[in-house]
């Protein structure tokens, strides 16, 4: 009999254990415990204000959780924004978050300069000119992978929204993260661009990279995700396969505004 390819000893890429975030009297996340498996795509859905971006902010160390803890690849993880890429974590922001005064190439190079695993080996090289050239080469590779290398010298504000979204994605991918957090990557994209985005999410992140996709675009989430978590008022109300989530009456009630039977 063929052996099943399940390694029970492998820890999740990220484990969230009882994460609570309070802003004054508002509980943005309420004791959320969730495993993000290695090498899989997890969708996070939920209505506006459910706590999705707050979850990313905790994972990125923008602020510490009020309660709870995180583990990355089985080790206790206290995220620090300035060490994030070095930890193997990269994110895109809700919206764009590109630097308007920098060219497309400079924007993507910034994703390496912060001390990523991929940029670190270059920092050890003698001679800053050589280092700059290699950083730019790697940024060009990332732009090329997303089919936007031709815009390298442009300022982001001069480009169509769909191209700018790809530049933001290239900036996150250039560090070759093992955990990639995408906050509404389909927001503002055309139907055709969303189809392309689905292919990118499935194929471009490196082998073993885990992806967390926060997205309101239900079809995209259902199509590309291995599993889906649903937040409502900061609480994790469901977690399962796309089929399980689409059949869950609590999700229909919370997310789609349909009365649960």
* β partners of residue 27: 22
Q: How far is the CB of 20 from ligand ATP (least distance, A)?
A: 12
The 73-102 contact track toward ligand ATP, x by CB under 6 A, reads ---------------------x--------
Q: State which of positions 92-151 bind Mg ion (CB under 5 A).
A: 94
Q: How far is the CB of 69 from ligand ATP (least distance, A)?
A: 19
Q: Annotate 249-258 with b (16+ C-beta within 10 A) or e (fewer).
A: eebbebbeee
187 binds ligand ATP (CB under 6 A): no
- Choose between 94 and 145: whose C-beta lies nearer to ligand ATP: 94
Residue 238: CB atoms within 10 A of its CB come to: 19
Stretch that binds ligand ATP, among 1-9, 43-51, 106-114, 220-228 (CB under 6 A): 43-51
DSSP 8-state class, residue 94: S
Q: Which does 250 bind (CB under 5 to 8 A by kind): Mg ion, ligand ATP, none?
A: none
Measured CA to CA, the distance from residue 100 to residue 109 in angstroms comes to: 14
- How far apart are the two ends of the chain, measured CA to CA in Å? 43
145's tokens = 């992978």
20 binds ligand ATP (CB under 6 A): no
Q: State which of positions 43-82 bind Mg ion (CB under 5 A).
A: 52-53
Contacts of 108 (CB under 8 A, 6+ apart): 139, 142, 143, 167, 170, 171, 174
Q: What SS3 state is found at 42?
A: strand
28 binds ligand ATP (CB under 6 A): yes
Sign of the Cα torsion 152, 155, 156, 157 reads negative
CB contact at 8 A, 5 and 56: no
Q: How far is the CB of 52 from Mg ion (least distance, A)?
A: 5
Q: Which residue of 11, 37, 39, 49 would you call a contact of ligand ATP, by CB under 6 A?
A: 49
205 binds ligand ATP (CB under 6 A): no
- Choose between 15 and 91: whose C-beta lies nearer to Mg ion: 91
Residues that bind ligand ATP (CB under 6 A): 23, 26, 28, 46, 48-54, 94
């Amino acid at each position: 009999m063929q052996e099943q390819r399940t390694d029970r000893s492998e820890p999740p890429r990220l484990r969230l254990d009882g994460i609570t975030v309070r802003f004054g009297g508002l509980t943005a996340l309420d004791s959320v415990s969730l495993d993000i498996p290695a090498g899989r795509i997890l969708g996070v859905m939920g209505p506006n204000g459910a706590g999705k971006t707050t979850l990313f902010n905790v994972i990125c160390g923008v602020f510490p959780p009020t309660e709870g803890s995180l583990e990355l690849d089985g080790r206790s993880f206290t995220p620090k924004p300035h060490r994030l890429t070095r930890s193997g974590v990269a994110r895109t922001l809700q919206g764009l978050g590109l630097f308007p005064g920098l060219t497309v190439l400079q924007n993507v190079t910034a994703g390496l300069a912060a001390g990523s695993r991929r940029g670190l080996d270059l920092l050890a090289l003698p001679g800053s000119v050589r280092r700059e050239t290699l950083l730019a080469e790697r940024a060009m590779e990332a732009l090329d992978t997303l089919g936007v290398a031709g815009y390298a010298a442009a300022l982001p504000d001069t480009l169509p929204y769909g191209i700018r979204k790809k530049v933001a994605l290239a900036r996150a991918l250039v560090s070759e993260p093992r955990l990639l957090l995408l906050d509404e990557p389909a927001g503002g994209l055309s139907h055709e661009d969303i189809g392309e985005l689905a292919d990118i999410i499935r194929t471009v992140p490196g082998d073993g990279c885990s992806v967390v996709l926060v997205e309101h675009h239900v079809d995209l989430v259902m199509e590309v995700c291995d599993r889906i978590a649903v937040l409502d008022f900061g609480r994790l109300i469901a977690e399962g396969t796309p089929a399980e989530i689409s059949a869950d009456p609590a999700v229909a009630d919370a997310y789609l505004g349909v009365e649960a039977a």
